[in-house]
Amino acid sequence: MPAPKRRVLVADDEASIRHVVSLHLGREDDLEVVCVDNGREALDALTGDTFDCALCDLVMPEIGGLEVIARAREQGVGTPIVLMSAHADIETLARADEHGVFDYIAKPFRADEVIFRLRRALAHRLQSDKLRRLEETLAGELDVGGMIARSDEMHRVFRTVRKVADYKTTVLLTGESGTGKELVARALHFNSGRRARPFIPINCGAIPETLLESELFGHTRGAFTGADRARRGLFEEANGGTLFLDEIGELPLPLQVKMLRVLQEGEIRRVGESTSTAVDVRVVAATVRDLPAEVKAGRFREDLFYRLNVLPIHLPPLRARTGDVPFLVDHFVERFNERLGTAITGVDAEALKMLVRYTWPGNVRELENAIERAMVLADGQRLTVEDLPPRLRESTDRIRMTLASGELSIKKTTRVIEDELIRRALTQTGGNRTHAAELLEISHRALLYKIKEYGVPL
C-alpha cells in the first residue's frame, strides 16, 4: 500500500496566492493541500482536523495569522506553522517567535522556497511524532530518574538500562562529569527488583583514604583509635539493594583488593574482624577516568577493572547530543519556576541558539546551573542572551574553545570541527543541504550521514 499523503493547510485571503501555492504543492506526490481564505476557517481547521504542517498568512480577515497561531497553541495544536507576509517587521517577527511560529517566509516568494520551508516543517513534524511515540513507549517501561533526553544516543542508554536493570551483574558507568551517571545508577536500582531495598551512593574520592575502608566495610569496636563501638559499613547497609560507587578510579590500591573479593565472593570483612559476612549487593560503579590507561599505569588493578566492566554504559557528553539542549532548557525553566517562584515563559531564539552552540564542558549540570542563574537575574519573562553567563557570550566559537581547552584527541577535535562547519554551512545556505555539501566540499550523501551522526537540527 502507498504511504498516506502528508496534509498541508494553506490559509490566505488572496485567491492568487492560494492558487499558486496549491498548484506547486499539488505537483508533490506525497502532499494533500487544503485551502481556506480567512483566519476563522484556519483556526477551525487546525483545531478540528489533523494537519502535518500549515502555511498561514499574517494579515487575514476576522483573525490575523498571529492570533490564529496563538489560539491554536493554547488548544494544544502542535502543527508546525510557517508564517508568510509582505508586511512583517522586526517587532512582528519577535511576536511570531513568542507565539510558536515554526518558520517565516516573506512575500513575494519563489515556489521552491515555499516547498523548502514546508519540507522542513514536515520533517520536523515527522521527527516530533517519532520522538513522541518513543517517549510514550519508554515512559511505560522505564523511569530514568528525571533524565530528559530525545537524542538517539541517550535513548540507547535508556534501552540498555531497561535490559540490564534486573540483573545483579556489575555495571560500570563512564562519561564526563555532569553527564548524569548517578541518575542512571538510580534508574538501574529503581527499575529493578531491588527497588524496595536501599540505594546508597558514595563518592570514593571524597572520603579520606584512612576512613574509606571503615566506611565501606565497617569496623569492630577498638579496631583503631576512636572506634569506641562496632559499626556496619555501607555494603551491609545496602544489603539487598544497590551500592553506587562514584569515582571508583580514586579507590586506593589496598582497598581494590578487598573490593575484588566482595565482587567475586559476595563477602565483606569488617576492619578488625577475622570472619567474613555474606552480603547481597548490586554494585554500580562510575568514573570519569580512563580505567584502561590507569591499569597500564599500575594505578588500578586489571582484575578489578574486568570485574567491574562486565556491563559498561557510556554516557555521551552534552556537546555530542545538542538536540537535547532545547528540551533540557524547557525542563529546567519549568522546574526553577516552581522552585524560585518565577514566571519565565522560555528562552528567545538567539539565546537558545547560543545555548545549543556552546560546548558545555560541565555538561548537563553546567546547563542546569546556567539556566538557574539566568532566571534569577532575568528582567523579562523570556531569557535573553544578556541573561546568560558571561562565559557563554564570550565563548561562542566551539572550535576555538576546543583547541583552547587542551584537548589532544584528534578524534574528538575533528568531531567538533566537522559539527561546527556543518552547522555554519547549513546556516549560510538557509538549510539547503545540497548547497551546504558543495560549500563543505563533501558529497550530499556524506553530509546526510554526518548530520545524523552529530544530531545537527534541521
Query: Which pLDDT score, from 0 to 100, does residue 97 have?
Result: 63
Give CATH 3.40.50.300 domain extents, the chain: 152-314
- Per-residue pLDDT, averaged over 76-90, amounts to 76
- DSSP letter at 200 equals E
- On whether the 6-132 domain is CATH 3.30.70.100, my answer is no
Query: Which tens digits make up the pLDDT trace of 268-288?
Result: 888 888 888 899 999 999 999
Helices 65-74 and 39-48 cross at an angle (nearest 10°) of 20
Global model pTM greater than 0.85: no
CATH 3.40.50.2300 positions along the chain are: 6-132
CA distance 19 to 122: 21
pLDDT digits (tens, 9 = 90+) for 190-205: 889 998 999 999 999 8
Give per-residue pLDDT as tens, 101-134: 888 888 888 888 888 888 888 887 777 766 555 5
Answer CATH for 152-314 from 3.40.50.300, 3.40.50.1100, 3.30.530.20, 3.20.20.140: 3.40.50.300
Per residue in 315-341, pLDDT (tens digit) is 998 888 888 898 899 989 988 998 999
Residue span(s) of the chain under CATH 1.10.8.60 come to 319-454
Whether the CB-CB separation of 71 and 52 falls below 8 Å is answered with no
pLDDT-derived band of residue 11, with 50, 70 and 90 as boundaries?
very high
| Look-up of cell digits 507576509 | 85
Q: What residues have CB less than 8 Å from 52, skipping those under 6 apart?
A: 6, 7, 8, 79, 121, 122, 125, 126
What's the CATH fold of domain 319-454?
Answer: Helicase, Ruva Protein; domain 3 (1.10.8)
What is the rounded distance in angstroms from the CA atom of residue 58 to the CA atom of residue 35?
15
Residues 6+ away with beta carbon under 8 Å from 454: 320, 415, 418, 419, 422
Instruction: Give yes or no for residue 1 having a pLDDT over 50.
Output: no
